[in-house]
Structure 1
């Protein structure tokens, strides 16, 4: 009788394990945790900073409903991996006069993880 339960038990364990793996945050999501105080990753939901949903490929200062600094809207930056890396590393150096009150992230691996995570946030 217990022999018949073994395949079902193994299936349930495998399913639970796979579901748990899908719920585990990626390195980018974990590194992005410091950004969540100001930035949402939900489309159309701005916070103290603009939503970062769809940021990769978007022009700086282009999220509807967010009030940007003139420095940001006039920067001419399009957020690709290189622009994001430079900005996350040193926001004031990359776009002087922007209003982001953040000193920058020096850890290149964490910056890359955040950028990889941001690349997943799109339609």
Structure 2
């Protein structure tokens, strides 16, 4: 386990890779899993998946990955053809990232990632 100052991507350790797990709910009370992925020299991403089988992924830009605090909006592409966006906000004091999302069919939801620790 490592501890660090959270960024939107969650990890500022150059050349390091890892994931940050979280969870949430859709507006229909469907449980979702959320995972922040730090890709080292590759693209950082957010993945949202549901128990019913769909998943969505959004890639952060390098500038978004380096951002400390504040909010970013990331486009999502889903496994079932839907698209959408997620808005994520980093709380430096609480050590987490909260996110909301809206998909093209009107599905909405929210999630939280605990970025104060991650598994590498």
Higher helix share: 1
Larger RCO of the pair (alpha carbons < 8 Å, separation 6+)? 2
Higher strand share: 2
With the length of structure 2 as denominator, give the TM-score of the two structures.
Answer: 0.28
